[in-house]
Amino acid sequence: MLSIDLNCDMGEGQPNDSAIMPYISSANIACGYHAGDIETMMRTIESALKYNVSIGAHPSFFDKENFGRINMNLSPEEIYKIVFEQISALAGTAEKFHAKLHHVKPHGALYNMAAKDIGLALAVCQAIKDFDESLILYGLSGSRLIDAAKETNLKSYNEVFADRTYQTDGSLTSRSLQNALITDSDVSLQQVLKMIKQSTVISVTGDEIPIVAETICIHGDGEHAVEFAKKIYYKLKKENIAISA
Using CA atoms, how far residue 181 sits from 38, 106, 165, 221, 222, in Å, is 30, 19, 6, 12, 9
Using CA atoms, how far residue 30 sits from 4, 62, 208, 212, in Å, is 22, 11, 33, 25
Output the pTM of the full model: 0.96
Question: Residue 158 has what pLDDT?
Answer: 98
Question: Residue 220 has what pLDDT?
Answer: 79
Cα separation of 69 and 72, whole Å?
9
Is residue 138 within 8 Å of 28, Cβ to Cβ? yes
For 183, the domain range is 3-243
Is residue 189 within 8 Å of 235, Cβ to Cβ? yes
> Helix or strand or coil: residue 175?
coil
Question: Residue 235 has what pLDDT?
Answer: 96
- CATH number of residue 134's parent domain: 3.20.20.370
Beta bridge partners of 209: 201
- Work out the burial of residue 15: count CB atoms within 10 Å of its CB; fewer than 13 is exposed, 13-18 middle, 19 or more buried: exposed
Measured from the Cβ of residue 183, the count of other Cβ atoms closer than 10 Å reads 11
Q: H helices of 99-152, where?
A: 108-116, 118-131, 144-151
Q: In 3D, which of 48, 157, 34 has the Cα closest to residue 103?
A: 157
CA 230 to chain CA centroid, nearest Å: 18
Question: Residue 106 has what pLDDT?
Answer: 98
Is residue 199 within 8 Å of 213, Cβ to Cβ? yes
Q: In 3D, which of 191, 101, 180, 116 has the Cα closest to residue 147?
A: 116
Question: Residue 173 has what pLDDT?
Answer: 95
Is residue 139 within 8 Å of 145, Cβ to Cβ? yes
Question: Residue 189 has what pLDDT?
Answer: 95
Cα separation of 201 and 190, whole Å?
10
Cα separation of 228 and 191, whole Å?
12
Domains identified in the chain, total number: 1
> What is the mean pLDDT for each group of 10 consecutive residues in the chain (245 residues)?
95 94 98 97 98 98 96 98 98 98 98 97 98 98 98 98 95 93 94 97 96 94 86 96 97
Q: Which amino acid, 91?
A: A
Question: Residue 230 has what pLDDT?
Answer: 96
